[in-house]
Amino acid sequence: MFFYLFIDTVKNICNKTLTFKFKRKRLLLSEKYKNSKTIGYARAIHKEYEYLEEQIKILKEEGCSLVFSEFISLDEKIKPQLNQAIKCLSEGDQLIITQLDRAFKNKKECLQTINKLINKDIKLRTLTGFFADNESSKANSLIFKILYELDNLEDKSLGERKKEQLLRRKLSGNNLGGRPKISPLKESLVIRLRNEGYSYRSIRSQTGIALSTIRRVIIEGELT
């Protein structure tokens, strides 16, 4: 009898020692986003009533608890209802549109919004299969950020080129609009005379063209 009591005592001690409560350091996605919202956005141009209603119906069937919609041109810089939809989204939420052109007029606008949403841990999905989020694929997030930076690079490079062109025109005495003040025939005459060794003043006396214009034509000819 003593032997069996001893065995039971040892079992109880072992069970109490080995029993512990498992606690995750991080929440599962299902737990983290259990209160997340799915919001839809629909857009159509003026009088496309059926098209707008069709988008709203599809978005609701996709599980959108709320759908923001508006009649507005794609080229409008500010889309009030789209902005309102984004304001209602928080971490873990999802924005759904039927396709990208319902919300964005070009690549730059699309990338700007995607990066804005990703930084807030908000998903963007279209019914055509496009998906962008920050949690499921860090690689996707990095790709979107790289594309965004490359797009910014193109804009900055273009802006710098324009500044350089304006500076050249200003230094050469040309108008900022960039239009020549004399005809191409007179420009070629100025360049020919200069190549033949005539001074600026001599060219002015022969052509009647202002010195500043002569100087601009010659400088631009050297740059090309």
Residues facing 42 on adjacent strands: 69
Question: What confidence tier does 52 reach under pLDDT thresholds 50, 70, 90?
Answer: very high
Count other C-beta atoms under 10 Å from residue 203's C-beta. 23
66, 94 Cβ separation under 8 angstroms: no
Residues facing 84 on adjacent strands: none
Residues across the chain: 224
Q: What is the DSSP letter of 97?
A: E
201 Cβ contact partners less than 8 Å away, ≥ 6 residues apart: 211
Q: 162: exposed, middle or buried (C-beta count within 10 Å: 0-12, 13-18, 19+)?
A: exposed
Of 109, 104, 38, the C-alpha closest to 74 is 104
Structure confidence at residue 110 (pLDDT): 85
pLDDT value at 173 more than 70: no
The arrangement of secondary structure in 29-151, i.e. its CATH architecture, is 3-Layer(aba) Sandwich (3.40)
223 Cβ contact partners less than 8 Å away, ≥ 6 residues apart: 168
9-46 pLDDT tens trace: 545 545 544 433 444 455 444 444 557 899 999 999 98
Buried-exposed string 33-68: b where 16+ CB fall within 10 A, e elsewhere: beebbbbbbbbbeeeeeeebeebbebbeeeebeebb
53-92 pLDDT tens trace: 999 999 999 999 999 999 999 888 899 999 999 999 999 9
The CATH classification of domain 173-223, taken from the options 1.20.120, 2.30.30, 1.10.3470, 1.10.10:
1.10.10
Count other C-beta atoms under 10 Å from residue 155's C-beta. 10
Write down the pTM of the prediction: 0.53
Three-state DSSP at 125 gives: strand
Residue 89 and residue 121: Cα distance in Å, rounded? 10
Q: Which residue has the tokens 């050297």?
A: 222
Of 214, 187, 188, 213, the C-alpha closest to 199 is 214
Domains of the chain, by residue range, sit at 29-151, 173-223
Structure confidence at residue 135 (pLDDT): 54
